[in-house]
Amino acid sequence: NALALSQRVIGLYTLTLNISTFQLNSFARNALSQLTSTFDPDLYEDFIEAWGTHIITKSLIGGMIEERAKVTKCFLGTDDRIVAGCIPFSGRGPTNSSCAYYADQTQILSTRRLGGNAEIENDDDWRRTIAAAPALLQILEMIPWNDFVTDETVKQNLRTIIRYRQRNTDFVQTEAVRHVDTRLATCIP
């Protein structure tokens, strides 16, 4: 079996900060002032853990419906795009007899809503609640913390810890994909 994922984004608006007039609040300024010229991995890791690696300056806000389905992995000689179009996400029924076969081989595992009132199960009713409680859907632009520091040594220390964090995250994600791939049975011709 394989896992299929559907994400239907309902973007309400793009939130953009004016970078030319942007100023850090007193908490952020205080946190940055605690960073030392001598690289202390624990201190810098604590900063990144609390404040992240970047400040988001442009983002997409709204709602999203995410559905996961279990799909039979080995449809020999079949184009994956055709099979993907037949997965009955959002209660979508098969569009033709070929699709009906593939749809019967899938099972919707979960439906999750981001933004709005996630407890509402009806899509139309849920959509009406998104404006009152939107979610962050996508980061479009961001600035690294080191851009807000004048001390060159602290700036370099921040670059170092940010690169380390990004490489570590990439490694963890790659290992997770590798782990899933090894657990999936290969198709036997």
| 19-67: pLDDT as tens digits | 889 899 999 999 999 999 999 999 999 999 999 999 999 999 999 999 8
189 inside domain:
no
7 inside domain:
yes
53 inside domain:
yes
Residues 77-94 have pLDDT tens digits of 466 677 777 777 876 766
Residue owning tokens 């079949």: 78
Question: Rounded to an integer, what distance in angstroms lies between the CA atom of residue 40 and that of residue 117?
Answer: 43
Reply yes or no on whether the pLDDT at 181 is more than 90: no
126 inside domain:
yes
Q: What pLDDT score does 104 carry? A: 78
Average pLDDT, the chain: 87
For 69, phi then psi, to 5°, come to: -135, 145
28 inside domain:
yes
DSSP bridge partners of 144: 54
188 inside domain:
no
**Closest-CA residue to 166 (of 135, 183, 145):** 145
Report the number of distinct structural domains present in the chain. 1
Band of residue 188 on the pLDDT scale cut at 50, 70, 90: very low
For 108-133, letters b (16+ CB in 10 Å) and e give beebebbbbeeeeeeeeebbebbeee
Q: Which residues form the domain of 106?
A: 2-183
Q: What is the DSSP letter of 126?
A: H
